[in-house]
Structure 1
């Protein structure tokens, strides 16, 4: 028998083993709800649950007797970040598209991003929802850690590798339209609340495990049971005052949004009034064909033709417009390098010329892109794309960087 005041090691091990088994059984039941669970999926779910429990305990001291001395500062910082940096609801859409572009995809997969608006209350809080489906490889532990922090972008300093995100604040923008965003990916099934967690007095960045609503069967019913569920699903139960605004912004996403993206090949928007996948309306834009880059004699220049296709109704035929894209790189002068682009040795400008009538939805228009549309509109018959340094709201270009020490490039 172990001495009084000490725990027997085998007893502690047995307790831990029992707890893990109970967690495993619960997760098996959750994953079995809606589809057959493989051993790999079950293993991912168990590891994900343990990771979330570790974050809650280690970072936010949930379940600990000692208070977190940074509680007030953390809550103020993240609340200000979410409410002040963005001036229009549209930015959460741009951030989600940007994140999807930066995600990793398996070889042979056509990267796709799908928005589904449903009146069904799948989260059980009495709100319609927007679901975002992305067929990427799924969230890693590092990605989850980034969601549970402020300014912890996993892509900072990697512009040269093709990443277009950098500020580490993108996902927080969803709190403009949803008070309880959910993330289902790679075994993780979590949500974040803008209301401070009662156990640590911090909101926005504290993960909560989702064990009830929605279930995978709920998600699958809305997506469609006849096709494989994408690895990543983001669920945004909408704030009542934001429902119409989200519908409007989704309907006005410009079809040229894919023009300067390297990965995403299809973006669709579907609206349904029930818990099924039957669409009341649908619109989609895709890159139907994309010619290989053709190098030109001009130093650092190449060109290609991108065919964008648009479908505006469920049974409508696609409308296609070819865009002739001229791309030229310019070496950056050493004395013009800035911290935000210190890994970039060549600055690239692209001009896209539509051949025929430009694609358009609603009254939206575009002029200047920084991979995705900015708020700057020109009257030019072509589109300008550059890796411009933007304000945190993604609305405006910070021209001070371009004007630093005169010309930006040779």
Structure 2
């Protein structure tokens, strides 16, 4: 088999007629590249998202934690006069002959027809998006060391896709110094000497990478950004290292599964962490929602993420909709929606009027109800105080997007029709059922969510809050959690005896509780025992 260098020479000779016989298709290539250029610069393509998308679609050796690292330096390692150079390191398997031939073509992706295998790229721009920020991208992978140029090649008058072998500037040893001399260089390195007017925008993009970028990626487990300068005081990019870890996968049935995912983001301000309850469910694609761009896809896979605590962010708004990678849509929902949405070219929003996307959104309410009821059932044995946060996942606030308000209304209808607040807990009149219902009633009242509470609760199945407040003391604010226990007849006396005999040193070795009190409330105080 030919060496990497011989392979590049073969491509230059046979495809671009460099040092060989004239290829009659060269003029067609030239026109295709001109069309690519027009498309590339007409679209507001997000180069960072395209590179992350490519890395997610790459293949990795078993046992490797797929990672993507961005390093920006002021060193002109390509000797092109660049004020700054961006290096991207990816520990994938590396470029194959087929990958090289694809990148030297226009509109010939190795991912076409592989949507079912999990590939998330689709625009046909991919790697070529780097030309938005560089005039000469370099690739070092599996023995290949090549560069491309947006300027037409002097030998064939074609730009963008003509590979040129790189002997020096940069060398692998120089790249290794920037990566870290003590570490092994990953299989693939992309070197981008930045255009002068792109240095500041690229630094801004790198500094604003959202820490939840890995939330719905199945392969990439680590992503980092840092700046490498001889004088660290010159660094202006906000460094960050993001990692994800899946706790376990619990199969619910053939169409749904749930798992916990942990994200951590390490940056100068400290380490941020958040866990997310993930619910993934499949739905068949309806005939009326099929589109040409997804004709080979027979099912939608919708994933909902419920953050357990404060979401990770970097002072920016948190996106509510993902298409594997984040859009810029803020939904006002307390959960995150992920699906194979069709996007605007900028990746900022999904196409709101697209029938494919509308079909997906029609299924979100069903996925939410399945996830929500699963969460409640999974916590049946837990203390009531740990359950209240689940009702914070109800989409109480209106969304700025009318189509998402339709989703919100559908969720409410489905929950109320299922009487989900009570659902299977009323099988027996145990204390836990009362505790949970009271907890829900109080939580919903506090958030003005009476419209989310089943009629049976509102009609008086549970003690009204105003009666509880009278007992607690009308001048005081009711605590966040109240548990009401109607005592069994034979337990009244033993409970009173226990309450009367609580030892005053009960708080001696407790680290949190600072006050504990017992009292009896009767209209006639003389009845207190």
Please state how far the C-alpha of 1:363 moved relative to its aligned partner: 2.0
Please state how far the C-alpha of 1:403 moved relative to its aligned partner: 6.7
Query: What TM-score does the superposition give when structure 2 sets the normalisation length?
Result: 0.64
Please state how far the C-alpha of 1:172 moved relative to its aligned partner: 1.1
Query: What TM-score does the superposition give when structure 1 sets the normalisation length?
Result: 0.81
Query: Is 1:312 equivalent to 2:239 in the alignment?
Result: no
Please state how far the C-alpha of 1:214 moved relative to its aligned partner: 0.1
Identify the residue that residue 241 of structure 2 maps to in structure 1. Answer: 284
Identify the residue that residue 69 of structure 1 maps to in structure 2. Answer: 27
Once the two structures are overlaid, the 10-residue window that deviates more, 70-79 or 218-227, is 70-79
Change (3 A) 1:241 1:110: same
Query: Is 1:322 equivalent to 2:322 in the alignment?
Result: no
Please state how far the C-alpha of 1:292 moved relative to its aligned partner: 2.2
Please state how far the C-alpha of 1:73 moved relative to its aligned partner: 1.0
Identify the residue that residue 374 of structure 1 maps to in structure 2. Answer: 327
Change (3 A) 1:390 1:221: same
Q: Determine the C-alpha separation between the residues in 2 that align with 1:384 and 1:117.
A: 32
- The secondary structure found in structure 1 opposite 2:79 is coil
Change (3 A) 1:403 1:379: closer
Once the two structures are overlaid, the 10-residue window that deviates more, 368-377 or 250-259, is 368-377
Please state how far the C-alpha of 1:109 moved relative to its aligned partner: 0.6
Identify the residue that residue 79 of structure 1 maps to in structure 2. Answer: 37
Query: Deviation string for 1:185-239 (max 9, x for gaps)?
Result: 0011011111111111111111111111000110000001111100000011001
Q: Determine the C-alpha separation between the residues in 2 that align with 1:338 and 1:356.
A: 38
Tell me which structure has the larger Cα radius of gyration.
2
Q: Determine the C-alpha separation between the residues in 2 that align with 1:406 and 1:231.
A: 37
Please state how far the C-alpha of 1:70 moved relative to its aligned partner: 2.0
Q: Identify the structure with bigger relative contact order (alpha carbons < 8 Å, sequence gap 6+).
A: 1
Identify the residue that residue 20 of structure 1 maps to in structure 2. Answer: none
Structure 1 or 2: more helix by fraction: 2
Show the 5 A alignment for 1:11-26.
Answer: none
Query: Is 1:182 equivalent to 2:135 in the alignment?
Result: no
Please state how far the C-alpha of 1:407 moved relative to its aligned partner: 9.2
Q: Determine the C-alpha separation between the residues in 1 that align with 2:357 and 2:317.
A: 30
| Structure 2 counterpart of 1:162, from 111, 115, 118 | 118
Structure 2 unaligned spans of 5+:
367-529
Show the 5 A alignment for 1:128-167.
Answer: 128-167=84-123
Q: Determine the C-alpha separation between the residues in 2 that align with 1:95 and 1:406.
A: 23
Query: Is 1:121 equivalent to 2:121 in the alignment?
Result: no
Show the 5 A alignment for 1:359-398.
Answer: 359-398=312-351
Contact persistence 1:389–1:401 (CA under 8 A): no
Contact persistence 1:154–1:168 (CA under 8 A): no
Structure 1 unaligned spans of 5+:
1-42
Contact persistence 2:339–2:360 (CA under 8 A): no
Query: Is 1:343 equivalent to 2:296 in the alignment?
Result: yes
Once the two structures are overlaid, the 10-residue window that deviates more, 212-221 or 342-351, is 342-351
Contact persistence 1:78–1:204 (CA under 8 A): no
The count of aligned residue pairs is 358
Q: Determine the C-alpha separation between the residues in 2 that align with 1:387 and 1:275.
A: 44
Contact persistence 2:72–2:86 (CA under 8 A): yes
Name the Cα RMSD after superposition. Answer: 2.5
Q: Determine the C-alpha separation between the residues in 2 that align with 1:109 and 1:336.
A: 38
Query: Is 1:274 equivalent to 2:227 in the alignment?
Result: no
Change (3 A) 1:161 1:403: closer
